[in-house]
Each structure stands twice: as structure tokens, then as C-alpha cells.
Homo-oligomer: A and B are copies of this chain.
């Protein structure tokens, strides 16, 4: 081999850096095709694996997307804004609107699939909801699709004995959704806590959200409390991080 010690940097990294610069300079715009493996082999006189490695760097950074049989393309981002606080104001769900219409502006965010089940409570959930070992939970799993692309998985956990025989155990919870039903049950949510983390998706999340390599997920864990200070719902959400900006506004 020749001159690896010279550049101080691995070849694949130099190639990746050069391509990245081209993208940032607008030489390759969003949606456009980059030089492929064969192009890079010829242009830089390297083996296929080395060219692949360079492209893999950009994929891992999430700025580029490989399409089998077609090429490698610059990714485009159009995240939607999720208002963490206003969207849960009582006026929103008190008036019969879906909590999800406030989010998206002109774009089309819809529920793709709903699945309701009664299950044993995972330990972490049971702890938050203050359930006993025997208590079960009602789980509402939903997937949301934006313009045809799945962007959000949601699993809502509620104490089974609390919501039994109510529309909450049905796919369609009726006007105002789960929170309006909880209010009718005497457990109006008055306080919320949201916890946000981020990590790379596991293979399951990756498949369900068809997440491209190099894209993390954001995890929102929301707990709803009634006026007794009692946790009545835990909602675990998994978001495609490239599709979302979360916003929180508050007073000092």
C-alpha cells in the first residue's frame, strides 16, 4: 500500500470529508445523487470496500441515504413542530378536537393502526402508575403516518380497572379522546410530565418507522396526573428524530 502515513487520515475518511464538503457547499443538493462506489474507486484509485466505507461514514451521519440499485442520495429534512404544552391545554381536548390536529399545519398526520389490549404491566409502568403485582393495564398502541411515512409510535398505558367498560378500551375513544373520557371518570388530567431521551433505534423501531441508517429516535415518556396528584396514564412515544422538532414554552 502507499502513503497511508502521509495524510495522517485514513483514505475513506478523506473521501468522506470531501463528499461532505461538496454537500455543504451545495454541490450536491437535497435529493441529488452522489458519486457511487464505482465512481469513487476510479476517482481515488481505491478498492471497493474503501469507497463503501467512505459512503458508510456519511450514512452513519444521517446526511445521505443509499437506495439499492439506484445510488446514494443527499437526504432532505422537513421536520414537523410538536408543541409540548399548548397541545395539552384543556381547551384542546375539552372541546372535542383530537390532540393531534394542532400539530401539523397543512400536512397530513394520520393514525395508521390502533391496537388495544389488556396486558400485565411492565415493571417500570407499574411503578409510575402505583399498581400492585396483580393489576393489569390497558395498552393503546398506535402508529402515526405523515404524508405516507410512519413517524411516531405511541403506547398509552392506563390502569385496567379504571378504564374497564369505557370507550378507552375501544379503538375509537370518541370526541376529545382518552383525556376527555378520563375527565368523565373523575380523573381529569391536570398536570403532565414529559421526559425526553434520544438514542439509535432498535431493529423493531427501525422497521416500524422505516428509519434510515444514521437517524436516531426521540423517546417521549409522558405521565398524566389527576387533581389528586395520581398518575392516571403513561404514554411512551418513539419519534423519528428526522421528522420532529419538539417545542416547549414556559414562564420564568
Residues of B within 8 A of A194 (CB): 247-249
B197 and A252 within 8 A (CB): no
Given that A196-B196, A196-B246, A213-B60 are contacting pairs, would A191 and B252 also be in contact in the complex, using a CB cutoff of 8 Å? yes
B241 and A199 within 8 A (CB): yes
The listed residue with most B CB atoms (<10 A of its CB), out of A202, A217, A241, is A241
Residues of B within 8 A of A115 (CB): none
The listed residue with most B CB atoms (<10 A of its CB), out of A188, A200, A202, is A200
Say how far A102's CB is from chain B's closest CB, in angstroms.
Answer: 14
Q: Spot the interface stretch: A82-90, A131-139, A158-166.
A: A82-90
**In the assembly, what is the distance between CA of A165 and CA of B198, in Å?**
40
Say how far A247's CB is from chain B's closest CB, in angstroms.
Answer: 5
Q: Which residue of B lies closest to A16 (CB)?
A: B203
B196 and A252 within 8 A (CB): no
Chain B CB within 8 A of A130 CB = no
A252 and B216 within 8 A (CB): no
Residues of B within 8 A of A60 (CB): 60, 200, 213
A251 and B200 within 8 A (CB): no
A193 and B251 within 8 A (CB): no
Chain B CB within 8 A of A104 CB = no
Say how far A56's CB is from chain B's closest CB, in angstroms.
Answer: 9
**In the assembly, what is the distance between CA of A247 and CA of B246, in Å?**
12
CB proximity to B under 8 Å, residues A223-252: 241-242, 244-252
A249 and B199 within 8 A (CB): no
A88 and B247 within 8 A (CB): no
A249 and B189 within 8 A (CB): no
**In the assembly, what is the distance between CA of A248 and CA of B213, in Å?**
29
**In the assembly, what is the distance between CA of A252 and CA of B190, in Å?**
5
Chain B CB within 8 A of A127 CB = no
Chain B CB within 8 A of A79 CB = yes
Could you jot down 11 A-B contacts, CB within 8 Å?
Answer: A61-B200, A61-B201, A62-B200, A85-B248, A190-B251, A196-B248, A197-B241, A197-B244, A199-B216, A199-B242, A216-B241
Which 3 A-B residue pairs are closest in the complex by CB-CB distance? Answer: A216-B216, A198-B241, A198-B198
